[in-house]
Amino acid sequence: MTQTIIWTIAIVTALGLVLALVLYLVAEKFKVEEDPRIDEVEKTMPGANCGGCGFAGCRAFAEAAVSSETLDGIFCPVGGNDTMAKVAGILGIEAVAKAPMVAVVRCNGTCQNRPKVNDYDGYPSCRVKASLYSGDTACAWGCLGCGDCVAACTFGALSMDPETGLPVVDEAKCTACGACVKACPKSVMELRAKGPRGMREYVSCLNRDKGPSAKKACAAACIGCGICVKTCTHGAIVLENNVAYIDSSKCKLCRECEALCPTGAIHGVNFPKPLDKDAVKARVQERQRKAREAAAAAAKAAAEAAAQEPQKKEEE
Amino acid sequence: MKRTFSIGGVHPHDSKISRGCAIEPLPLPPTVYLSVAQHIGAPAKPVVAPGDKVKVGQVVAEPGGFVSAFIHSSVSGTVKSVAPRKDLAGNEVMTIEIAVEGDEWMEGIDTSDTILTEIPDDNKAIIEKIRLGGVVGLGGATFPTHVKLSPPPGSKCGMVIINACECEPYLTSDFRTLLEKGEQVVIGAAILRQVMGNVPCTIGIEENKPEAIEHIKAVIEKLSKISPKYQGISVLSLKKRYPQGGEKQLIDAVMHRQVGSGALPISVGAVVQNVATALAVYDAVLKNKPIVDNSVTVTGECFPRQANLLVRVGTPLRFILDYLGGLPENAVKVISGGPMMGRAVSNLDAATLKGTGALLMLTEAQTRRKPASNCIRCGKCADACPMGLEPFLLNRLAKVDDLEALEANAVQDCIECGCCLYSCPANIPLLDNIRLAKGAVLRAIRARATKK
């Protein structure tokens, strides 16, 4: 009896040792060499696997970061500059700091501003709705209001405002991963630079229709009048396809365009003081008057100089 | 046992409440709007400018490619503008606006009611006349007919099928055309079969139209005494089932042959043309009359006056409804086409196209969707799918955008007939998701083809 037990233990132990040796040898033989820095980089990542960086997940991002020589085009929008600095530290290369971004809703077609012209009773999805027709308002460019962006947001930063029918971005939660930008069939969502202390100016409209029909469709539409372009002294605003766009890298946040926009399509957010439209308007008008006078004076001087030239010649 | 297609299909109530209404001409509207995209393929190129005087039947837009079609003025008057205008889905399409003045037709167009039975022998000339007449498939897809009649080299046609199923509920314009213009349709069918090489021709009619079946049989008998060209045309009574009017389903029902995935009907030797197309072929070849009007069913239980109207192409929808007494108050949805495959109209100021076959008005109770619940794996959608697909699976794959798996499961074969949605007890919006996925897969397939 005792002998049987001893034999059993001995055989199983010997078997275990032999198999362990085989496993060890096989593992040594077929070992996959992996850069240990990949694990290190992955640890510093937020771990949301949101895909906002353009890679399949945080691990894929880490692999790409380790295998590339520079961090050009490799940026984790969720972790931001802090994470990228850590990643750069591990890899011993330099990270280029990026301005923090935030998702912005470029439509102000609230229920009041943009009356409905028909009822949509199909499947409540913006993608489906956009594939069927131009939408339930007279504006074919704006928010469709079915909340595909809200569904796409993995950080809970987006919600639909039942009063306006438009999505609202919670800036504290938004990581600028860009999932909403991809989900929106009308490209209403845009990632913009967050701006100093969150202050930023943007055109909250995408309507490319001509002024009268845009205005008819929505009271807050950009009508493509170009006043903002003329007002802007920093060359930050371009007017294309009947709709203005503010380049956030050039914008100096003077809020003049916002004050002068006739439809209120330009929005400024997170400014400490409310905009005193009349004062800004008066300031701009004063400046433009002076500019006109200066131009007129210069023209006059030029004309006089031109008139005097022949006289001088005659005198000679 | 009557014939029908072999897999799938549903039996919606046929609701053909306007079947007794004879086709009546609609008075001319004050303005018509002719879209340049009235057919599948490249949009036509306008050849008129604002201020030009046009007559009925005059070319106002030329084909923009091989798969494209001529567009003719449907009225006489002055071109007001050539500019983008919102279509019935609210999307902007280049449109020619013509203010109507009188009703003067181009010379050479035979507008009399005399029935001409002499079919010319020159097939090339016939196809050219069909092309010049702007004839497109009027069953719904509006594929240019002359392209369909010029099969790729190497393929051989064995049968011309005239699609007179009209399997969608409510629609009766093809039925009325069969009853009132049966001779013209049969002559059109004879022209088509001669062009395809004197092949036999079958007119497939569903059994719920016995009057039409009898009438067309009598017409064929009468005409075949006049000329041997009318022999070889037969009528086939088919079991009522939706979507029998689908090209591939009709071929299956009539010839017992199945068209492969991604293949054209000609690959099994069939050419399918709709009743209204056969009539348009007759008009174009023997009467020199291009497509300037088509018959439109205006119907709906909430609508007091059912009608089948002969409408000039480009007539604003609101004008049609106002002529019949205006939009009823309890109508919440207007559909262009039938209830299964038609498109909801969001803009009543839009105008009819060549392929507009019906305007259907539905009430809140008829149209409101019930909330979707979870899939209970009953498999009704897979039973109903006439293409043999698995809508529940495609729906699930579509939600996660798995294009490779979608393509492997043949989402591109979906004919968007709506049988899955109709049969789903959980009210899952199967077709909405599948249609999106189909679009994405077709784009991917095309992108792959151009890369190679």
Q: What is the pLDDT of residues B230-255, one digit of tens each?
A: 989 999 999 999 999 999 999 999 99
Task: Provide, as residue numbers in chain B, all residues whose Cβ is less than 8 Å from the Cβ of A135.
Answer: 90
Question: Is the pLDDT assigned to residue A96 strictly greater than 90?
Answer: no
Return the percentage of chain A with pLDDT > 70, whole number: 98
Q: Is residue B223 within a helix (H) or strand (E), and if so which, with residue range?
A: helix B210-226
Phi, psi angles (nearest 5°) of residue B445: -65, -45
- Confidence label for A314 from pLDDT (cuts 50, 70 and 90): low
Say which of A119, A121, A132 has its CB closest to residue B89. A132
Give pLDDT tens digits for A192-238. Answer: 998 888 899 999 999 999 999 999 999 999 999 999 999 999 999 99
Residue range A91-101: mean pLDDT, rounded: 83
What CA–CA distance (Å, rounded) separates B52 from B48?
6
Single out the residue of B19, B187, B169, B34 nearest to residue B98, CA to CA: B34
Give the model's pLDDT for residue B188.
Answer: 95
pLDDT in tens, A173-192: 998 888 999 999 999 999 99
pLDDT of residue A36: 86
Question: Among A195, A202, A194, which residue's Cα sits nearest to residue A176?
Answer: A194
pLDDT at A316 over 60: no
Transcribe A152-188 into DSSP letters: H-SSS-EEE-TTT-SEEE-TTT-----HHHHH-TT--
Smallest CA–CA distance from A117 into chain B, residue: B346
Q: Which two tokens stand for residue A163?
A: 């009063």
- Distance (Å, rounded) from C-alpha A91 to C-alpha B121? 81
Q: What are phi and psi of B25, to 5 degrees?
A: -70, 140
Is B288 in the A-facing interface, judged by CB distances under 8 Å?
Answer: no
Residues A146-150, mean pLDDT to the nearest whole number: 94
Q: Is A122 within 8 Å of chain B by CB? A: yes
DSSP three-state, residue B175: helix
Q: Alpha-carbon distance A244 to A225, whole Å?
A: 9
Across the interface, of A118, A119, A131, the residue whose CB is closest to B436 is: A131
Q: Among B282, B283, B344, B338, which residue's Cα sits nearest to residue B317?
A: B344
pLDDT for position A79 = 85
Closest partner residue to A140 (CB to CB) among B90, B343, B432 is B90
Ordered DSSP codes for A31-97: PPP--HHHHHHHHHS------TTSSSSHHHHHHHHHHSSS-TT---TTTHHHHHHHHHHHHTSPPPP
d(CA B212, CA B230): 18
DSSP string, B259-307: PPTT--GGGGTEEEEEHHHHHHHHHHHHS---S-EEEEEEE-TT-SS-E
Give residue A312's pLDDT: 64
> pLDDT tens across A100-132, in order?
889 999 999 999 999 998 888 888 899 999 999
Nearest CA-CA partner of B94 in B105, B109, B84, B79: B84
Report yes or no: A24 at the B interface, CB cutoff 8 Å.
no
pLDDT of B195: 93
Whether A132 sits inside 8 A of B344 (CB atoms) is: yes
HSE of B332, CA atoms in CB hemisphere, 13 A? 10
Work out whether strand B270-274 and strand B159-164 pair parallel, antiparallel, or are unpaired.
parallel
- pLDDT tops 70 at residue A311: no
Report which of A252, A257, A263, A262 is spatially closest to residue A275, judged by C-alpha positions.
A257
Cα B361–Cα B363–Cα B368 angle in degrees, nearest 5: 115
State the average pLDDT for chain B: 93
> How far apart, in whole angstroms, are the C-alpha atoms of residue B389 and residue B410?
7
Amino acid A217 reads: A
Residue A71: pLDDT band (50, 70, 90) is confident
CA distance B186 to B251: 19
Note whether A140 contacts B92, CB cutoff 8 Å. Answer: yes
Average pLDDT, chain A: 90
**Which pLDDT does position A310 carry in this prediction?**
67
State the Cα–Cα distance between residues B58 and B202, nearest whole angstrom: 34
Domain spans of chain B?
Answer: 123-286, 380-451
A132/B contact by beta carbon, under 8 A: yes
Per the structure block, which two tokens stand in for A184?
């929106």
Nearest CA to B417 out of B351, B359, B361, B337 is that of B337
Q: What is the mean pLDDT of residues A45-65?
A: 87
pLDDT on residue A214: 92
Q: Specify the pairing of strand A200-203 against strand A266-269.
A: antiparallel
Instruction: Give me the pLDDT at residue B139, please.
Output: 84
Complex-level ipTM: 0.86
pLDDT at B412 over 80: yes
User: Do the strands B92-100 and A101-105 form a parallel or antiparallel pair, or are they unpaired?
Assistant: unpaired
Q: Is the pLDDT of residue A11 over 70?
A: yes
- Nearest CB partner across the interface for B368, out of A121, A123, A127: A121
**Per-position DSSP letters for B122-141, written without gaps between them:** -HHHHHHHHHHTT-B-TTTT
- pLDDT for A48 equals 83
Q: Which of chain A's residues have a Cβ under 8 Å away from the Cβ of B337?
A: none
Q: CA–CA separation, A37 vs A39, rounded Å?
A: 5
Q: What number of C-beta contacts closer than 8 Å exist between A and B?
A: 44
Burial class (CB in 10 A: 0-12, 13-18, 19+), B8: buried
Percent of chain B exceeding pLDDT 70 equals: 100
Q: Is the pLDDT of residue A144 over 90?
A: yes
| CA separation for the pair B323, B310 (Å, rounded) | 13
The top-level CATH class assigned to B123-286 is: alpha beta
Chain B residues within 8 A of A128 when measuring between CB atoms = 429, 432-433, 435-436
For B55-110, where are the E strands, in sequence order?
59-62, 71-72, 77-86, 92-100
User: Which chain B residues are Cβ-neighbours of A136 within 8 angstroms?
Assistant: 346
Judge contact between A290 and A225, C-beta under 8 A: no
| Torsion over CA: A239, A244, A250, A252 (sign) | positive
Q: Which residue has the higher pLDDT, B44 or A36?
A: B44
Where residue A315 falls among pLDDT bands split at 50, 70, 90?
low
Residues whose CB is less than 8 angstroms from the CB of residue B69 and which lie 6 or more positions away in sequence, other chains included: B38, B39, B41, B44, B63, B131, B134, B135, B136, B144
CA dist B216 and B235 (Å) reads 7
A258 phi/psi in degrees, rounded to 5? -65, -40
User: How far B369 CA lies from chain A's nearest CA (Å)?
Assistant: 7
| Exposure b/e, B331-366, CB count within 10 A at least 16 = b | bbbbbbbbbbbbebbbbbebbbbbbbbbbbbbbeeb
Residue B253 has a pLDDT of 94
Which of B15, B38, B90 shows the shortest CA–CA distance to B344?
B90
Q: Is the dihedral of CA B216, B218, B219, B220 positive or negative?
A: positive
Query: Do residues B226 and B259 make contact, with C-beta atoms less than 8 angstroms apart?
Result: no
Residue A135 touches partner B, C-beta closer than 8 Å: yes
Retrieve residue A300's tokens.
């006059």
Mean pLDDT (whole number) for B58-80:
94
| Cβ contact A140–B435 (<8 Å) | no
Q: Residue B316: is its pLDDT beyond 80?
A: yes
Amino acid found at B340 = M
Give B89→chain A minimum CA distance, Å: 5
Take residue A91 and report the two structure tokens written for it. 């890899």
**A209's tokens:** 């229709």
> Given an 8 Å threshold on Cβ–Cβ distance, is B89 in contact with A123?
no
Whether B84 and chain A come into contact, CB under 8 Å, resolves to no
Helix (H) or strand (E) holding B31: strand B31-35
Structure tokens at B234: 């037969």
As a whole number of angstroms, the distance between CA B215 and CA B182 comes to: 7
Q: Does A151 touch chain B (CB under 8 A)?
A: no
